[in-house]
């Protein structure tokens, strides 16, 4: 089987998570500067077989797009054009950053480690991926 990759797209940083090849476990992979995301994905997709890319869909509480919505939609379309054999899926990402922060607290990370925004983004991407996997069944 091929991996599923998830993206928590942000203005400055983008969290990335991935499954194992059997698509059983969702794990944080890394956080990259958003301006380096395209190159990171090109390099990763050359090395690993990915069948689906799940991109967090930022919505307001009333389900309208957030301020980054248009940017992320354009990114998703460009990614689909560049990689037509990879399925692009979207998952509502509301509250994932708060859930990620709570996960850090629950796992006993120190205050200084919880201030690591890159780690929050990576965990948020993992939550997006796990949400997709749960929904997919």
pLDDT tens-digit profile of 9-18? Answer: 999 999 999 9
Q: What share of the chain is helix, strand, coil (3-state, %, to 5)?
A: 45, 25, 25
pLDDT at 67: 80
Instruction: Tell whether the torsion through CA atoms of 117, 79, 64 and 126 is positive or negative.
Output: negative
| Model confidence pLDDT, tens digit, residues 96-111 | 666 666 776 677 767 7
Set out the domains of the chain in order of their start, with CATH numbers: 3-136 (3.30.420.140)
Q: What pTM did the predictor assign?
A: 0.85
> Token pair of 113, please?
């480690």
pLDDT at 137: 75
For residues 56 and 94, is the Cβ–Cβ distance under 8 A?
no
């Amino acid at each position: 089987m091929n991996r599923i990759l998830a993206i928590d797209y942000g203005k400055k940083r983008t969290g990335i998570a991935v499954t194992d090849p059997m698509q059983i476990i969702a794990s944080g992979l890394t956080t990259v500067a958003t301006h380096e995301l395209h190159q990171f994905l090109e390099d990763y997709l050359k090395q690993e077989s990915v069948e689906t890319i799940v991109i967090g869909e930022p919505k307001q509480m009333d389900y309208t797009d957030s301020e980054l919505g248009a940017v992320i939609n354009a990114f998703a379309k460009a990614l689909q054009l560049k990689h037509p054999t990879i399925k692009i899926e979207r998952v509502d990402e509301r509250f994932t950053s708060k859930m990620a922060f709570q996960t850090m607290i629950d796992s006993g990370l120190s205050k200084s480690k919880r201030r690591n925004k890159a780690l929050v983004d990576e965990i948020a991407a993992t939550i997006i991926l796990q949400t997709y996997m749960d929904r997919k069944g």
